[in-house]
Amino acid sequence: MKTYLLLLSIGTLSFNLAIAQPVNLSALPDDRPLTKADLQKALTTSTNSLPRFDLDFPGGTPRDLVQAIVKATGKPLNVIIPDEYAGWKIPAVSVKDVTVAQLFEALDRTSINLERHVWTDYTKQGMTPSSTYFEYESHYWFRTEGARNENSIWYLYYEKPPVQEEPIVCRYYQLAPYLEAGYSLEDITTAIETGWHMLGKTNPPKLNFHKDTRLLIAVGAQDNLQLIDDVLKQLSIGKPKEKSNDKGTDKSKDQ
């Protein structure tokens, strides 16, 4: 995977990210329990020397943000941005007297997006799949491992919602009644494909017609194949007008 390795400065870490970080607490008595206040104090002491800066960022890609911080601090920071996230839009930022860690944590908070997703149960054979809707908080942030220091390597991470892979199935549709009613194969497949296009399906099922048996063979996600049933149901309601090759015939001659 191609990545961008850029240099910037780093900064302090807020308490909620510090609990799992190794800090120097050797000055504390061995017989006294470690408290949250101890951790906060140790963290503050270890990061007081890290650079602070002001930043007015108009918005842009993650790489644009990194370059803006480089210019503001004049110090290096190691940042890795995976290709799949390189084109993301980072919102405008206006901050004063902050560290990189504080800025990245704030971006984490502002990137939280509540999304609604559907999970479908396909496991019950012979029954219509049941769907359950759920809400998920997706967000992105720059993260690093270990104690924050000027040699830390930050990388852009995205907390993705769980994605369900719909089962791929193969179904057969007998088109003989529709073809004998006057519809063409193109009429039928165009109606089906138009529906998928209007629904924004980027990976619609594949269609193939077997001439000898007049079967339409469809392979794709089970939910997408339902549209074929809907089209054929509507086609069965009526039949197209008879096509005539006598457009120019003068009917008065037959009188």
pLDDT digits (tens, 9 = 90+) for 22-35: 444 555 566 667 67
Instruction: Let me know: does 204 contact 188? Beta carbons within 8 Å.
Output: no
Q: Give pLDDT, residue 207.
A: 96
Tokens at 102, concatenated: 């504080």
| Confidence at 231, pLDDT banded by 50, 70, 90 | very high
pLDDT, tens only, 175-197: 999 999 989 999 999 999 999 99
pLDDT, mean of residues 34-56: 67
At 101 the pLDDT is 84
How many Å apart are CA 13 and CA 10, to the nearest integer? 9
pLDDT value at 153 more than 60: yes
Residue 50 has pLDDT above 80, yes or no: no
Q: Mapped to the 3 state alphabet, what secondary structure does the chain carry?
A: CCEEEECCCCCCCCHHHHCCCCCCCCCCCCCCCCCHHHHHHHHHHHHCCCCCEEEEECCECHHHHHHHHHHHHCCCCEEEEEHHHCCCCECCEEEEEECHHHHHHHHHHHCCEEEEEEEEECCCCCCCCEEEEEEEEEEEEEECCCCCCCCCEEEEEEECCCCCCCCEEEEEEECHHHHHCCCCHHHHHHHHHHHHHHCCCCCCCEEEEECCCCEEEEEEEHHHHHHHHHHHHHHCCCCCCCCCCCCCCCHHHHC
The whole-number average pLDDT for the span 169-173 is 92
Query: Which pTM does this prediction carry?
Result: 0.46
Residue 108 has pLDDT above 90, yes or no: no
